[in-house]
Amino acid sequence: MEALTQFFAIYGSLVNFIGINAILALSLYLTLAAGQLSLGSAAFAGIGGYTAGILTMKLGVPFLLSVVAGSVLSGLVGLLIGLPVLRLHGVFLAIATLAFGEVVRITVLNLDITGGAQGLVGIPNHTKTWGIYLALAVVGYAIAKLRYSRLGWCFESIREDETAAGAMGIDTTYYKTLAFVLGAMLAGFAGALYAHLNYLITPREFGFSVAVDLLIFNIVGGTRAWYGPILGAVLLTALPEILRGTGITAGPMRMAVNGLILLLVILFLPNGLVSIFRRSASKAKDSTLAISEEA
């Protein structure tokens, strides 16, 4: 028991970050599930985080209400951006969302209400570890359920071949936008939780490199199963601390190991870490398929 207390004293905040990053990774997963490569998740998290932070801090709005408000606003912006950009594909969509993310970051930098470069300081500390993991559990469950629902199959078909999906009578624009907006809302939600974790958020925490990190979580974990992004987020968020523990403290070395792990995963585990489990559990998967087809 004492060891556990000690563990939380040292790694408590890391555990929180892991949870938040896992939710963020899932928000991108939703978009990826419909085959849309977005680099805007970090910006949506920023919109949610700043909205919720400003609401609780400056207007005294209750925590839960401001989290909801942050998610909703983020979703609305997602809708506004999604409608024009989702006509784009692949890398082009990625770059359009990236440009959007940069515009959001620069706007936040230049506003007074957000505190500019110094960040929004003094946000009350409302987010608790159990809250994060409860949220993660609910979101994870919902996304796992979604995968074998009608909606999930629509996403999957668009991801496999958008033209064919359209020909089959699936309203691809509707489903793509839906996936994008849901992803934006979830990112905004995670951002709002994050804002209430450490008194402070800064524009840099929602920049390009974070957007890339979220993508990396998904790839390393694997996007063929709902728990892939969670796995990626857990491993890669903990990695700096694991390396620190193993004595690889020198700066550049740690960075190199980070890059190397990413490279090895992409080269040898095409479907991410998930494929390790999937291979052994392929039987279970077959039976799942059978069940959901019956249903």
**51 vs 218, beta carbon nearer other proteins:** 218
Tell me if 166 contacts other proteins by CB under 8 A: no
Tokens, residue 189: 């939600």
Tell me if 144 contacts other proteins by CB under 8 A: yes
User: Minimum CB separation from other proteins for residue 165, in Å?
Assistant: 13
Tokens, residue 182: 């849901």
Site for other proteins in 77-116 (CB under 8 A): 84-85, 87-92, 95-96, 98-100, 102-103, 106-107, 109-110, 116
**Nearest-angstrom CA–CA distance, 275 and 278:** 5
**Nearest-angstrom CA–CA distance, 135 and 151:** 21
Site for other proteins in 38-77 (CB under 8 A): none
Burial of 228 (0-12, 13-18, 19+ CB in 10 A): buried
Tell me if 252 contacts other proteins by CB under 8 A: yes
Tell me if 119 contacts other proteins by CB under 8 A: yes
**Nearest-angstrom CA–CA distance, 272 and 266:** 7
Select the residue interacting with other proteins from 3, 60, 150, 282 (CB under 8 A). 3
User: Minimum CB separation from other proteins for residue 202, in Å?
Assistant: 5
Tell me if 26 contacts other proteins by CB under 8 A: no
Tell me if 164 contacts other proteins by CB under 8 A: no
Tell me if 205 contacts other proteins by CB under 8 A: yes
Tokens, residue 18: 């892991």
Select the residue interacting with other proteins from 9, 59, 169, 295 (CB under 8 A). 9
Sole window of 55-63, 67-75, 164-172, 224-232 interacting with other proteins (rule: CB under 8 A): 224-232
Phi and psi at residue 200, in whole multiples of 5°? -145, 140
Tell me if 134 contacts other proteins by CB under 8 A: no
Length reported for the chain: 295
Tell me if 266 contacts other proteins by CB under 8 A: yes
Would you call 128 helix, strand, or coil by DSSP?
coil
User: Minimum CB separation from other proteins for residue 98, in Å?
Assistant: 7
**119 vs 188, beta carbon nearer other proteins:** 119
Question: Crossing angle of helices 41-59/2-33, nearest 10°?
Answer: 120
Site for other proteins in 226-245 (CB under 8 A): 227, 230-231, 234-235, 238, 240-242, 244-245
Q: What dihedral angle (degrees, nearest 10) is formed by the CA atoms of 172, 173, 176, 182?
A: -130
User: Minimum CB separation from other proteins for residue 275, in Å?
Assistant: 11
Residue 45: closest CA among 23, 14, 16, 12: 23
Query: What pairing do the DSSP bridges indicate for beta strands 200-201 and 120-121?
Result: antiparallel
Contact status, residue 29 vs residue 229, Cβ threshold 8 Å: yes
